[in-house]
Amino acid sequence: MVALLKVHLVIRKCGHFTEYFILSLLVLRGIRAGKRDVRLRWSLAAIGIVACYASLDEFHQIFVPGRTPAVGDVLLDSIGGICAQIAFALVMSKKAAPVNRERAEAP
């Protein structure tokens, strides 16, 4: 039974991480508003919004019977948002690298 509870805990925490990972990407998409360039302040704004939302979600749990807020959940959710921004930056840098090489090789 203890092993089942541990598995349940891991699945729930992975779900939180994944939800806020996706939320962070969607928030960044909204901030970028279709622009192709990437700016650090946009990523930082997305992380801030995700962290605020995670904090409000935990605050909301104070008023829900049977639920308890946890600072650890806010941290895990925020880390999910941060990881999304890092992954996005890596993908965008990989996409930009071949373009820069082609420009450098052009006569």
Cα-based distances in Å from 59 to 41, 66, 78: 27, 14, 15
Q: Is the pLDDT of residue 69 over 80?
A: yes
Whether the pTM exceeds 0.85: the reply is no
Residue 101's pLDDT band, with cuts at 50, 70 and 90, is low
Query: Average pLDDT for residues 74-98, to the nearest whole number?
Result: 92
Contact call for residues 87 and 64 (beta carbons, < 8 A)? no
104 band by pLDDT with thresholds 50, 70 and 90: low
pLDDT range class, residue 102, cuts 50, 70, 90:
low
Burial of 74 (0-12, 13-18, 19+ CB in 10 A): buried
CB–CB of 17/82 below 8 Å? no
* Alpha carbon distance 22, 17 (integer Å): 9
Contact partners, residue 69, CB within 8 Å, separation at least 6: 58, 59, 61, 62
CB 50 within 8 A of CB 75: no
